[in-house]
Amino acid sequence: MNRAIRLGRIGGVEIVADMSVLVVAAAVVVVLYVDFGAVYPDTDPAVVTIIALLAGAAFIGSVLAHETSHAIVAQRRGMEVRRVQLLAFGGYTMIEGKSERPADEFVISASGPIVSLLLSGVLWLVAAAASGAPAIQEGIRFIAFVNLFIAAFNLIPGFPLDGGRVLRASVWHFNGDRVRSTALAAQAGRVFGWFVIGIATLVALVTLSPWALLGAVLGWYLLRSADIAGRRELAMTKADGLVAGDVMRTTPDPVPGEMFVTNVVDLYQIGARLRSLPVEVDGRICGVLGESEIERLSPARRMSSRASGAMAKIGPADVVDVGLPVDVMMQRPAGKTGRLVVVSDGRAVGIIEAADLGRAVEDV
């Protein structure tokens, strides 16, 4: 979240924008200002500036309309939406849990491209009515094209795009198997990514145009995104029914913060390595102490350093309830330490590390 800017809330849902949205919006302003100034030299520069700035704002609004449509439809389907994050040509709507029916996922996923297509159509009509002001008409047409591109791009049939989720929902409806449908949608994204890379490379070789290589970059992005999102979606699907208590590693009583590190190693070490343990300071779990924290200290410093000083501090994102569903937990923003402390009735009862979660999901 370090690169995200909070824009506010809509319907109780937090809206944040990735820096990529602002960068692209700024590029839109600059390109349109230069282009309009050259094409319409008789137009007042102040008018050109206003048109370019409004177009940049409209670009952000287009991305926002696309993504918030997912949130609104999800809420109307009875789901809890925690956050909407805007990216350059789409975004990510964080929905608590997952769709229980393929029809829900289909409608939620399709809503974004549908809204973008509707906006594009409306803007084309508005542009046609603005024939008396060529610069303004061109600016409206540009935003209409942007919405058309957003719709088309997000309809690509592969994760993590809306088209991949529509594909999964459709296959899931017919075969009744969410896991197999997820794997198919992820594979479709990979295949499409390789297809785009191949076509872009061929065009670059035939035309000797370096611009064609941008298509290869887009294909690589789709390939990587499909692979990462596909693995994540499969893991979440396999985790259905599991809660934090099922995948955690049970821990003994928390390490007192005032205990010297060398004593922690002597008392809690299991085999050749120290597993991560919660650290308690003044009755509160404030951090975790594990192998990575221990290795940063020399043997001499371990004798003089206390657990509270050597631990990795944790925040609210690092603490989960024992009954929290694993698929919900996997949607939460990553914590500071890469480890989750599991609590029950306010008492630390276990720790979840990435390896523990991976093994638990693979065993399902």
| Residues 16 and 145 grouped into a single domain | yes
| Residues 254 and 138 grouped into a single domain | no
Measured on CA atoms in the order 162, 164, 165, 166, is the torsion positive or negative? positive
Q: Which of 155, 171, 193 lies at the terminal end of a domain, its last residue?
A: 155
| Residues 131 and 274 grouped into a single domain | no
CB 62 within 8 Å of CB 139: no
Least confident of 80-84, 113-117, 256-260: 80-84
Model confidence at 152: pLDDT above 50: yes
DSSP letter assigned to residue 258: T
The count of domains in the chain is 2
**Looking at this protein, which amino acid is placed at residue 224?**
R
Model confidence at 55: pLDDT above 90: no
Is 235 a domain residue?
no
Is 337 a domain residue?
yes
Q: Which of 155, 182, 198 lies at the terminal end of a domain, its last residue?
A: 155
| Residues 21 and 134 grouped into a single domain | yes
Give the CATH number, domain containing residue 291: 3.10.580.10
Evaluate if pTM is beyond 0.85. Answer: no
Residues 6+ apart with CB under 8 A from 265: 274, 294, 302
CB 313 within 8 Å of CB 257: no
C-alpha span between 149 and 221 (Å, rounded): 16
Find out whether the peptide bond into 160 is cis, omega within 30 degrees of 0.
yes
Is 254 a domain residue?
yes
pLDDT digits (tens, 9 = 90+) for 305-324: 999 999 999 887 788 899 98
| Residues 148 and 258 grouped into a single domain | no
| Residues 253 and 144 grouped into a single domain | no
Domain extent for 258 = 244-362
Q: In what order do the strands lie in the sheet with 255-256?
A: 255-256, 277-281, 284-289, 312-313
Is 192 a domain residue?
no
